[in-house]
Structure 1
Amino acid sequence: MMTNPYTLPDSELERLLDEDVPCGDATTFSLGIGDQPGRLVFRARQAIVACASEEARRMGELHGLRSIGNVVASGSRLAAGETILMLEGHAAGLHKVWKTAQTLMEYLSGIASSTAEIVAAARSANPDIGIACTRKNFPGTKAAAIKAILAGGASPHRLSLSETLLVFAEHRAFLGNEAPRATVQRLRRAWPERAIVVEVGDEAEALCWQEAGADILQLEKMPVATVNRIKGLIPKSSHTRIAAAGGINSANAEDYARAGADILVTSAPYFSPPRDVAVTLTAL
């Protein structure tokens, strides 16, 4: 599993903090404790694949805090009770960073952990299978969500509409009587470096687009037995790969991998519950 794919920019971290503390921390200010030294410790409350620890540390640095000891890299597996990050500094900064950093790590660790479970299940049947997560993340969270699925061992299915060729039935509705092979040839001329993916709804469509030269057939919401049957009908000499999509999760990933899918396409990690991160804040 790869660790620490990238970090979110300071501008994004400050935006997140400003949502929670737009005009200062009223309680800390009113109590007059802002200048007192303290320590903030984040620990895994349960087994997790950690994510966003680098962002939590950077939030602290942006507000005068320093990290103590090692910071666990995103993508690391932790047992319950293990320390993720420790920050020291003035109470004003500790209280400002506390909840935003904790919540970001909880949500992204939930996505990373769920992703890792799907990857492990699928690769128990096929070590070479690819796991790709869709662009169905909550709007406005793409960079964070992509970091989390990378930390969990998957890849983005489509970063955006601008960099992938995925032909849906909704596209084909506008093509009139154009033959599938002509469509594939036209796409390959227009974007020669891109794989041509076609989503199909049944066996007949799958075989039609395989014969037309599609690079990947995306089998939408098809049962495991149907995926297996289509895999068997595609000639061994064909370069076409099969992506199983729709309803893929940790409970059925192994079955789809055994059925012959080359890629599993899933949105499930984005809807996984957060993984708890325990926080201890003490005065020094």
Structure 2
Amino acid sequence: MNPYTLPDAELERLLGEDLPAGDATTHALAIGDCHGRLEFHARFEMVVCGSEEARRLGELRGLAAVGAAVASGTALAAGDRILTLEGKAAALHAVWKTAQTLMEYLSGIATATAGIVAAARAGNPDCSVVCTRKNFPGTKAAAIKAILAGGASPHRLSLSETLLVFAEHRAFLSETPAQTLARLRRRWPERPVVVEVADENEALAWADADILQLEKWPALTVDRLQRQIPGTRLAAAGGISAANAADYARAGAAILVTSAPYFAVPRDVAVTLSALPAA
């Protein structure tokens, strides 16, 4: 699965961060015109992400891909090949670390996401995992690609697209829940209304919302609420991980909301750079 590829302008920005005034070492050694090969492999099991960007980084510097890059979203075993690039040594060195690091971070997110998705579906095959907008600022497009590659969906791409009513919004209201819900549905008729609630009393007061978001509720409490209001979709949020996703899914949460993948440990990508005979 390859959800999309970051645009060239973003990839050029990444290359420019690592190469603002040329590669001093390659230039000083006068090896830039030598021919070589850059190979990327999974060092451990992973769900790879960013391989298309790595290939494109090479193409932007005149490198040629040897064979196809493994698509983002593919589960790899240790040692599996991801991508091979060939061309001038100057370009290989210019692309090497940016491509490697980008794949490592995105593959870490994708792998962690896939683990939570697998756990949730073990509890309930129809349970969905969605990831919040709590990615590191400035990395949203890349982070969203990684969670898509891992089998999740975005919870909120931005404040502009969803109606999610927090207690911090309700602090400014002086109307009943029914009045608030009716007003929101008149103003934004095509948007489901999601309300975050802190306890069962709040949940019952807002039970006519399309989705209730339960922040840091124990799974047992989720199960009890689901039995009381079976017609309202429940989204469990806060502290969701691969260790507890199945419990929440079995308890009746239709949606699991998590930020955990964004803090995942990167998955190591092994790199081999070798010289080739001149063409």
Partner of 1:7 in structure 2? 5
Tell me the equivalent position of 1:223: 218
Cα distance in 1 for residues equivalent to 2:145 and 2:192? 23
Percent identity (aligned): 74
Matched, 1:109 2:110: no
> Which of 119, 122, 139 does residue 120 from structure 2 map onto?
122
Give the Cα–Cα distance (whole angstroms) in 2 for the partners of residues 66 and 13 of structure 1.
17
2-side partners of 1:214 and 1:268: how far apart? 26
Read off the aligned partner of 1:79 and give its amino acid letter: A
- In the alignment, the residues of structure 2 paired with residue 56 and residue 24 of structure 1 have an alpha-carbon distance, to the nearest angstrom, of 19
Q: Report how far residue 146 of structure 1 moved.
A: 0.1
1:232 shift after superposition = 1.0
Give the letter aligned to residue 4 of structure 1. N
Counterpart-to-counterpart distance in 2, 1:269 and 1:180: 33
Mapped partners of 2:152, 2:107: distance in 1: 14
Aligned length: 276
Distance in 1 of aligned mates of 2:15 and 2:223: 49
5 Å matches for 1:232-243? Answer: 232-234=227-229, 236=230, 238=231, 240-243=232-235
Can you list the C-alpha shifts for 1:44-81, whole angstroms capped at 9, x where unaligned?
00000000000000000000000001210000000000
Supply the AA of the counterpart residue of 1:60: G
RMSD: 0.5
TM-score by length of 2: 0.98
Describe how 1:56-135 pairs up with structure 2 within 5 A: 56-135=54-133
Q: Does 1:193 align with 2:185?
A: no
**Is 2:203 the counterpart of 1:206?**
yes
Aligned residue identity for 1:137: N
> Equivalent residue for 1:32?
30
Does the residue aligned with 2:87 lie in a helix, a strand or coil? strand
User: What is the CA–CA distance in structure 1 between the aligned matches of 2:254 and 2:123, rounded to whole Å?
Assistant: 11
4+ residue segments displaced more than 3 Å = none
Q: Secondary structure of 1:124's match?
A: helix
Secondary structure of 1:193 counterpart: coil
Alpha-carbon separation, structure 1, partners of 2:68 and 2:3: 18
Amino acid at match of 1:42: F
* 1:8 shift after superposition: 0.2
Q: Does 1:276 align with 2:271?
A: no
Where 2:270 maps in the other structure, the secondary structure is strand
In structure 2, distance between residues paired with 1:88 and 1:266: 39
Counterpart code for 2:140: K
State which of 160, 173, 184 in structure 1 corresponds to 2:181. 184
The answer for the alignment partner of 2:46 in structure 1 is: 48
Amino acid at match of 1:191: W
Question: Deviations along 1:135-176, whole A, 9 cap, x unmatched?
Answer: 000000000000000000000000000000000000000002
Residue 250 of structure 2 corresponds to residue 255 of structure 1: no
State the one-letter code of the partner of 2:18: D
What whole-Å deviation, never above 9, does each CA across 1:243-270 have from its counterpart, x for those lacking one?
Answer: 0000000000011011110000000000
Structure 1 residue 98: deviation in Å? Answer: 0.1
In structure 1, stretches of 5+ residues that fail to align are none
**Partners of 1:163 and 1:70 in 2: CA distance:** 36
C-alpha deviation, 1:274, in angstroms: 0.1
Q: CA deviation at 1:242?
A: 0.1
The alignment partner of 1:46 has SS state of coil
> Which deviations, in whole Å up to 9, do the C-alpha atoms of 1:193-233 show, x marking residues without a partner?
101000000001111101xx200000000111111111111
Q: Shift of residue 125 of structure 1?
A: 1.3
**Corresponding letter in the other structure for 2:91:** G
* Stretches of structure 2 lacking an aligned partner (at least 5 in a row): none
Q: Letter of the 1:193 partner, please give it.
A: E
Q: Take 2:26 and 2:193, find their aligned partners in 1: how far apart are those partners?
A: 56
